[in-house]
Structure 1
Amino acid sequence: MSDSTTNKQKNFALVGAAGYIAPRHMKAIKETENHLSVAYDTNDSVGIIDSISPESEFFTDFERFYEHAWQLKRNENTKLDYVSVCSPNHMHASHIAAGLRLGCDVICEKPLVPTSEDLDELKRVERETGQQVYNILQLRHHPAILELREKVANADKSAKHEVELTYITSRGKWYLESWKGDPRKSFGVATNIGVHFFDMLHFIFGKLQKNVLHYTDELKASGYLEYEKARVKWLLSIDANDLPDDVKGKKSTYRTINCDGDELEFSGGFTDLHTVSYQEILAGRGYGVEDARHCVETVESIRTQQPQKALADEAHPMLEHLLAGKGV
């Protein structure tokens, strides 16, 4: 396993350099004073590299990238320490395994992998290689989330908290034409945009006890989750029409948790959380495969369910609006 306790500058490879989230990883590598040695993507729209690490090697063929990375292993100063994976969701498992077999620790975007079976396979490859996988679970570092977690930990344990989670992030027509709109590649809205929120709920409220899906389509999903310490009504959407009226035209994203009537709006404070995640990983405090298991199992269950009619006290306030839009 890479020795992250020394002050030696670490060499990174980035897989999926043209993706939406890749610049946050490039920025995190730079801000932790490490080196982006090489990047790979099938798409060559990666001009962002020029403002962060213009000397980095770049490949559009995975075979050439992998051979270059293998050759870097021959020199102690050039060998890769970490591979950061920002590729489409369905490629995560194979790209993580490739990084581990290069002798690197791997940092991967959410969702780590789609199924618990895939998690088990990653554990096997970790054992075979002696390397480790880390998942970006950035909400565990958000100050507002940490504050709520502490509040819940110190609260009366006799009753469960009543929680509403709403996340609406506007996406244009391009979304459904991209891999993100293909459920075989993104695994659907609840997985693609929701997995780290389900991790956050587990992080705050404990183990999941009940998981019911009320609505799902290619743009949105809604359901009910019950944890040790909370009853949660949730809604996720990429449809701008679902934004609250006081937000429309002003912001394209709305994130909020309402806990026992107190609203926690946490749309801000997201941009630096990848750097914090990298700092924690490099300090030996990263979140590994087992940390990701709970949220992976949660979205796996959501994907395999058929929507059920919601009980009155388990329905998100916007569910009726979603059902009316479908003529239900």
Structure 2
Amino acid sequence: MLNNKNFALIGASGYIAPRHMKAIKDTGNNLVAALDKNDSVGIIDSYFPNAYFFTEFERFERFVDKYHRANDKKIEYVSIATPNYLHDSHIRFALRNNSHAICEKPLVLKPQNIDLLKIIENETGKKVYNILQLRLHKSIIELKEKVLRELEQNPGKVYDVDLTYLTRRGKWYFVSWKGDISKSGGVAANIGVHFFDMLTFIFGNVVENIVHLKQDDTNSGYLKLKNANVRWFLSVNYDYIPDNIKAIGQTTFRSITVDGEEFEFSEGFTELHTRSYEEILKGNGFGLDEAYISINTVYDIQNSSPIGLKGEYHPFCKKILG
């Protein structure tokens, strides 16, 4: 397939960057330039060995500007895989350089920034797309369709949902930007935002948001959605992973139950960035409006005071507060 769209990538050395490179390649497009202050980016050779690479934003910005001014050249999309607190600025850069923006989650850290980005979209005529890949997962689409069918029969039905996600992170995590809540948004934003998006995608908007536990490595709370009561627990502390999971050598535990029944969606993740790009290129990507609910949810969690073991708390809270 011939390359037909030109891309730039900001955040080329991060964990998630290769998925963006692969998605650009898989959709038959071309990576023109990449930026990262760290130069451990040899992975680019596996996808786009001819891409220009910059470690300084100023030189990258100059290249993009000059590239746009060449009569027959254009960068249609800027992909953004940088630390969370930089997303807003890099999206603005993309739009103001006449490119659409494709950004990792969380899109921004404050919901009011979405309102401001809408203004810039209108000024520039360019779009912001958020990678919300769980919405494209086959099992999640099937669950959403099942819930919609059941709600047609019983519009007042309210599901009971437990979300539990624990994944080990070493000491590096708290030294990096991820450990700085002002830069990451905290645990809920780092490892939970896509789950919150998935749950509101299926069960409707947030009616009530209560935080029971908030520590540097663990957040837990309760969400009342339009059609579900959700108890959730998120942690990067290995100690809280169930013993039976540790016994088989695993460092991640993920569980979602719906009315007491385990919802299995552990497979089918590998191509979701490519699927996201395919939809974006067809004009069907998830934009600012789709991102708003999950961003508002994690922002409220970040700015709420925990109430402890009161009300509908997740049973894992007793591991810490009991």
TM-score normalised per structure 2 = 0.95
Once residues 255 and 207 of structure 2 are traced to their aligned partners in structure 1, the CA distance between those partners, rounded to angstroms, is 23
- Which of 124, 145, 150 matches 1:150? 145
1:290 corresponding residue in structure 2: 289
Indicate the larger mover: 239-248 or 215-224. Answer: 239-248
Match status 1:322 vs 2:320: yes
Q: Secondary structure at the match of 2:270?
A: coil
Q: Secondary structure at the match of 2:319?
A: helix
Q: How do 1:167-178 residues align onto structure 2 when only pairs under 5 Å count?
A: 167-178=165-176
- Which of 8, 22, 43 matches 1:48? 43
- Which of 100, 108, 112 matches 2:95? 100
Contact 2:80 2:103 in 1 (8 A): yes
Indicate the larger mover: 252-261 or 35-44. Answer: 252-261
1:160 corresponding residue in structure 2: 158
Once residues 259 and 280 of structure 1 are traced to their aligned partners in structure 2, the CA distance between those partners, rounded to angstroms, is 29
Deviations 1:259-298 (A, max 9, x none): 0011013233222111111111011100001110111111
Contact 1:160 1:230 in 2 (8 A): yes
Once residues 267 and 237 of structure 1 are traced to their aligned partners in structure 2, the CA distance between those partners, rounded to angstroms, is 18
Once residues 13 and 72 of structure 2 are traced to their aligned partners in structure 1, the CA distance between those partners, rounded to angstroms, is 27
Once residues 184 and 130 of structure 1 are traced to their aligned partners in structure 2, the CA distance between those partners, rounded to angstroms, is 31
Match status 1:61 vs 2:61: no
Q: How do 1:71-86 residues align onto structure 2 when only pairs under 5 Å count?
A: 71-75=66-70, 77-86=72-81
Deviations 1:173-214 (A, max 9, x none): 111111111111111101111111111111000111110000
Q: Secondary structure at the match of 1:247?
A: helix
Q: Secondary structure at the match of 2:86?
A: helix
Contact 1:17 1:41 in 2 (8 A): yes
Match status 1:220 vs 2:227: no
Indicate the larger mover: 92-101 or 302-311. Answer: 302-311
Q: How do 1:1-328 residues align onto structure 2 when only pairs under 5 Å count?
A: 9-75=4-70, 77-155=72-150, 156-248=154-246, 249-312=248-311, 314-324=312-322
Cα offset, 1:128, TM superposition = 1.2
Once residues 200 and 115 of structure 2 are traced to their aligned partners in structure 1, the CA distance between those partners, rounded to angstroms, is 20
CA-atom RMSD, angstroms? 1.4
Once residues 76 and 315 of structure 1 are traced to their aligned partners in structure 2, the CA distance between those partners, rounded to angstroms, is 60
Deviations 1:9-33 (A, max 9, x none): 1100000111111111111111111
Once residues 240 and 278 of structure 1 are traced to their aligned partners in structure 2, the CA distance between those partners, rounded to angstroms, is 34
Contact 2:3 2:28 in 1 (8 A): no
Once residues 166 and 297 of structure 2 are traced to their aligned partners in structure 1, the CA distance between those partners, rounded to angstroms, is 20
Contact 1:256 1:266 in 2 (8 A): no
Contact 1:256 1:267 in 2 (8 A): no
User: Per the alignment, do residues 8 and 58 of structure 1 end up closer, same or farther by CA in structure 2, a change over 3 Å counting?
Assistant: closer
Contact 2:213 2:220 in 1 (8 A): yes
Unaligned segments of structure 1, at least 5 residues: 1-6
The runs of at least 4 aligned residues of structure 1 exceeding 6 Å deviation read none
Q: Secondary structure at the match of 2:249?
A: coil
Deviations 1:38-81 (A, max 9, x none): 00001111111111111110000001001101111123543100
Amino acid at match of 1:143: K
Deviations 1:131-161 (A, max 9, x none): 1100001110111111111111111333310
Once residues 193 and 126 of structure 1 are traced to their aligned partners in structure 2, the CA distance between those partners, rounded to angstroms, is 28
User: Per the alignment, do residues 105 and 180 of structure 1 end up closer, same or farther by CA in structure 2, a change over 3 Å counting?
Assistant: same
Deviations 1:103-141 (A, max 9, x none): 000000000001111111111111111111000011101
Once residues 190 and 76 of structure 1 are traced to their aligned partners in structure 2, the CA distance between those partners, rounded to angstroms, is 45
Identity of aligned residues (%): 51
Cα offset, 1:255, TM superposition = 2.1
Once residues 308 and 268 of structure 1 are traced to their aligned partners in structure 2, the CA distance between those partners, rounded to angstroms, is 36
Once residues 268 and 172 of structure 1 are traced to their aligned partners in structure 2, the CA distance between those partners, rounded to angstroms, is 25
Contact 1:111 1:296 in 2 (8 A): yes
Contact 1:189 1:218 in 2 (8 A): yes
